[in-house]
């Protein structure tokens, strides 16, 4: 089966601009997660979708970040306006709804650089 | 979230076994012990998990102390491809919140 894919792999934008990251989970995975690692820090959870619903968005840093998962398939994470501290690697992961729901499959990440 | 403690780094030689320790003295009865690893330039990858008994899979073995306050991930024969950051994560099995809380992990270097 195809793995989790993320687009773009790398994005360089200026402070104040908008960027949209996309994640395509493994087909049939109802759970979708966003994480990020900012420079020198640990990987941090951002939010969790179950199908199209937000199950947990406790990790979203502020209202400049908007995540959507229309139709319960792919997800987008929009940062508007981007700030310097948003630079880092954004990971998406997915897992099954039941059974091995705990086993998360991660994508390769999107490296975001805000200048 | 319950906290884990791991050494910052470890070194091994190729073809030799590697024992990666993790302390989790505040673990609760419903916490599973999960291990993920992150290879260079990739996203984290699930390795193994357990609750009380030792576990084996094709990638590794997990040895859990009787009091569950510590565990050890065992790579039986390290290869160069096993060089990665290894994360020990406590995972609450109740409810529907599956978020992972990553610490700093252990950077494993494998020497040829």
Dump pLDDT digits (tens) for A53-98. Answer: 999 999 999 999 999 998 889 999 999 999 999 999 999 999 987 6
DSSP strand pairing (A75-79 vs A88-95): unpaired
Q: Is the pLDDT of residue A100 over 80?
A: no
Confidence of residue A99 (pLDDT cuts 50, 70, 90): low
CB A90, CB A112: distance < 8 Å: yes
Q: Inspect the interface and report whether the beta carbons of B96 and A50 lie closer than 8 Å.
A: yes
**pLDDT value of residue A98:** 67
Confidence of residue A9 (pLDDT cuts 50, 70, 90): very high
* Averaged pLDDT score across all residues of chain B: 93
Q: Inspect the interface and report whether the beta carbons of B103 and A45 lie closer than 8 Å.
A: no
| A40 touching chain B per CB within 8 A | no
Q: Is the pLDDT of residue A114 over 60?
A: yes
Closest CA to B70 of B5, B1, B2: B5
**pLDDT value of residue A109:** 97
Torsions phi, psi for A52 (to 5 deg) = -95, 0
Nearest CA to CA, how far is A93 from chain B (Å)?
A: 9
Q: Is the pLDDT of residue A46 over 90?
A: yes
Question: Which of residues A105 and B91 earns the better pLDDT score?
Answer: A105
Contacts of A6-9 with C-beta under 8 Å, sequence gap 24+, read A6/A90, A6/A91, A6/A92, A6/A107, A6/A108, A6/A109, A6/A110, A7/A110, A8/A110, A9/A108, A9/A109, A9/A110, A9/A111
**pLDDT value of residue B30:** 85
Dihedral angle over CA of B56, B102, B97, A56, nearest 10? -160
Question: What percentage of chain A has pLDDT greater than the value 90?
Answer: 85
Question: What percentage of chain A has pLDDT greater than the value 70?
Answer: 96
Residues of chain B with pLDDT under 50: none
| B8 touching chain A per CB within 8 A | no
Q: Inspect the interface and report whether the beta carbons of A106 and B98 lie closer than 8 Å.
A: no
Confidence of residue A40 (pLDDT cuts 50, 70, 90): confident
Q: Is the pLDDT of residue A44 over 80?
A: yes
**pLDDT value of residue B92:** 79
| A88 touching chain B per CB within 8 A | no
Q: Is the pLDDT of residue A1 over 90?
A: no
Structure confidence by residue, pLDDT tens digits, B65-85: 999 999 999 999 999 999 999
Q: Inspect the interface and report whether the beta carbons of B44 and A108 lie closer than 8 Å.
A: no
Question: Which of residues A52 and B91 earns the better pLDDT score?
Answer: A52
The residue with tokens 């759970």 is: A31
């Amino acid at each position: 089966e195809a793995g989790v894919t993320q687009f773009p792999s790398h994005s360089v934008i200026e402070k104040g601009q908008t960027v949209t990251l996309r994640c395509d989970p493994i087909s049939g995975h109802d759970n979708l997660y966003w994480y990020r690692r900012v420079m020198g820090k640990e990987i941090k959870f951002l939010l969790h979708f179950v199908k199209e619903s937000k199950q947990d968005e406790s990790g979203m840093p502020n209202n400049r970040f908007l995540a959507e998962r229309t139709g319960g398939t792919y997800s987008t994470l929009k940062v508007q306006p981007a700030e310097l501290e948003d630079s880092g690697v954004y990971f998406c992961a997915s897992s099954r709804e039941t059974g091995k729901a705990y086993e998360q499959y991660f994508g390769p990440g999107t490296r975001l650089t805000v200048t | 979230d319950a906290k884990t403690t791991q050494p910052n780094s470890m070194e091994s030689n190729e073809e030799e076994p590697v024992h990666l320790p993790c302390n989790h003295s505040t673990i609760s009865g419903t916490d599973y012990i999960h291990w993920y690893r992150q290879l260079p330039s990739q996203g984290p990858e699930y390795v193994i998990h357990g609750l009380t008994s030792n576990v084996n899979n094709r990638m590794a073995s997990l040895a859990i102390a009787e009091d569950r306050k510590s565990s050890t991930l065992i790579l039986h024969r390290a290869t160069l491809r096993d060089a990665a950051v290894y994360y020990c994560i406590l995972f609450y099995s109740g409810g529907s919140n599956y978020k992972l809380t990553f610490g700093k992990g252990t950077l494993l270097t494998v020497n040829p």
